[in-house]
Amino acid sequence: MNTLDKIDKYIDIEEEDIDDNIMGKMFDFLSNLDPEQVPENLADDYINIVNELADEEDDVDEDFARKKVKIKIADKRKRKMEYKKNRAKLKLKAKKFRRTTKFKQWKRKSTRKAKQGKTATGKRKRTFL
């Protein structure tokens, strides 16, 4: 069996089974290829791809039940404590920052720019209705 016969045999696979999605588009592209222009060494690869596309179309319809992941109480408690510690550190850092010269400059600049209707970085304040 030569290359053209192999390809012609697989071009007419049940096109009704393939939907208009990516796999369908790939199948359409491969089925519209001119068999005479496909090299001899790629004919088997072409056939394998078309077979895989036909098989994957059947696999898409299968549904499966997903397991619900249960979080242990100890894990929740541990996460909560980490959050509280981190939040406390952030509060202390912010408190320390508010005492710096950089913050005071930013505060003065933001009040000055607010009168112009802008943010401290100079961007226009947006108001939504």
| Average of per-residue pLDDT across 19-35 | 64
Pairwise pLDDT comparison (57 vs 108), residue with the higher score: 108
What would the mean pLDDT of 29-58 be, rounded to a whole number?
68
Residue 24: what pLDDT? 65
Rounded Cα gap, residues 9 and 25, in angstroms = 19
pLDDT at residue 121, as a whole number: 84
Share of the chain above pLDDT 90, in %: 35
Higher pLDDT, 112 or 24: 112
| pLDDT of 18 | 45
pTM for this prediction: 0.34
